[in-house]
Structure 1
Amino acid sequence: MPSVAFFGSHPLGERCLDELTGHDAFDVELVVTYGPDEDTWWDGCLYDRAQQLGHRVRTRADEREVLDYDVDYLVSVYYPNILGEELLDHPTVAPLNLHQAELPRYRGSNVFSHAIMNARDDDHWRYGTTLHVMAPEVDAGDIVARRFVPIEETDTARTLYDRVTEASVDLFREQLTTLRDGAVHRVATPQSAYNGERYFYTKESLDGEKAIPVERLADDDEATQLAVYDKIRALDFPPFEPAYTELSGRRLYLTATNYDDLFGGATVPNFGVEDDPVAATQD
């Protein structure tokens, strides 16, 4: 029976741990996550959920305790720390990460926002989630599987996040068979085999992006209006501060709701949820 150390957070981490625990083929040796009293913006607590499921749980400060356990897999789902090579080398089969973005197109952070802002210029109206082998370089390891959802004209970063969460759970559930059979390295594809644009965004990549000059809001050029509309949607992710403009020293917040009636006739390609069975030819 393959053994697993699970590192994670967010509601997605809870749901994936539920899937892993409910699968008879795996033994969860340890769960590492935020402490139960830490302040987080999302609902739920993986620490509490792991305890309810009967698992050993440690906080991020004690993540190196995983080295005391023999595990076949280290599985990361929304774990915030960058893991060093000693931790990555510890599992006997593979360290795996469920990255809520399309690799190799979008590495790093804030990818929901950037994908919306890039979709029109790139004519790339889909958003992915990726299970990949972890490497020392962030989000750069071989790809095990991907799944896609559409980016809609009316999406905000939060609605896209919610939609791809469902696809991520489906992908994780499906790939548990790959882990059970020890087939990860047999099916994994190097990122160099993929075509298409490649972006890397840091956690600071949205700094300074939220202020939109009132002159830009008033510009009647269609391309400018669409760019502003896309940015407002891309920065609309409650509970975080949205885009804003300033008038007479007052900050006015801008959300996608303000623009609902301006681009109702715009069209985009209608992609359905799809798998990616032939990885090297899909971009």
Structure 2
Amino acid sequence: MSDEIDVIFLGINDAGMRVYEWLCDRDGVFVHSLLTTREQLRTIEDVRPDFLVSCGYRRLVPESILEIPTEGCVNLHPAYLPYNRGANPNVWSIVDNTPAGVTLHYMDSSLDTGDIIARRTVPTDFEDTGKDLYRRLEDAQVDLFRDAWPDIEAGDPSTITQDSDAGTYHETTDFKELCRLDPDETVRVKEFLDRLRALTFPPYDNAEIEVDGETYYVDIDITKA
């Protein structure tokens, strides 16, 4: 009987691929599968792994699946929970002026609400665009996972229970609404600049405004003097 820890990995984005490759190279760990679609979740029922590890998987995993891994299911989220649960945390850290960071937590039946295993803040600057912060959060996720995984392997990580009434949450629809700029809106300059830089993520066109029947896309570049 193998002494290796059996893992199934859910993903994937750039940070997820780096974590996946790190796990694949780690002694004592056998990563059975990399799953990216809802239909592939039946693999977890067949394999019945020790751990389910998620990074970049954009769907809510059913509770019936979460109950299968014998040692638990963990997820990397690019936010300092309980702030910025849900979608686009890099954007909302800038727009809402909430702490930017990364969190490794146990998965439960809700989105980003499980017990926190480890978390750390990530520094920000007024020059940051949404893309700048996203890249910094990616690096921080990988570092956090590498530091926290040995305690998970050992079976005794310390955890923090999240307060369901604390923090913030945003859906994809909130992001889409944020992208639509109203030419007649009255704004505070600093808040509007925060909104524009949060939505700046080339090559994607996010912030948009309609003027005289034409749609224009808006990016911003802020440089420190």
The TM-score, its normalising length taken from structure 2, stands at 0.91
What displacement does 1:242 show? Answer: 2.3
SS at match of 2:172: coil
Amino acid in the other structure paired with 1:64: R
Partner of 1:52: none
When Rg is computed on C-alpha atoms for both structures, the one with the higher figure is: 1
Is 1:191 the equivalent of 2:162? yes
Task: Please give the alpha-carbon distance, in whole angstroms, between the structure 1 residues aligned to 2:200 and 2:125.
Answer: 14
Is 1:114 the equivalent of 2:80? no
Task: Please give the alpha-carbon distance, in whole angstroms, between the structure 2 residues aligned to 1:138 and 1:96.
Answer: 12
What displacement does 1:135 show? Answer: 0.6
What displacement does 1:61 show? Answer: 1.8
Contact 1:20 1:176 survives alignment (8 Å): no
Amino acid in the other structure paired with 2:180: A
Is 1:91 the equivalent of 2:69? yes
CA RMSD after TM alignment: 2.0
Partner of 2:212: 248
Partner of 1:173: 146
1:119-134 alignment, distance < 5 Å: 119=97, 124=98, 126-134=99-107
Partner of 2:59: 81
Partner of 2:5: 2
What displacement does 1:197 show? Answer: 5.3
Task: Please give the alpha-carbon distance, in whole angstroms, between the structure 1 residues aligned to 2:150 and 2:206.
Answer: 40
What displacement does 1:83 show? Answer: 0.8
Residue segments in structure 1 that go unaligned for 5+ positions in a row: 34-58, 266-283
Is 1:141 the equivalent of 2:93? no
SS at match of 2:114: coil
Residue by residue over 1:201-225, the C-alpha shift from the partner in whole angstroms, topping out at 9 and shown as x without a partner, is 1121122322323344xx6xxx711
Task: Please give the alpha-carbon distance, in whole angstroms, between the structure 2 residues aligned to 1:210 and 1:28.
Answer: 39
The TM-score, its normalising length taken from structure 1, stands at 0.73
What displacement does 1:28 show? Answer: 1.1
Task: Please give the alpha-carbon distance, in whole angstroms, between the structure 2 residues aligned to 1:83 and 1:145.
Answer: 21
What displacement does 1:8 show? Answer: 0.8
Count of matched residue positions in the alignment of Structure 1 and Structure 2: 222
Residue segments in structure 2 that go unaligned for 5+ positions in a row: none
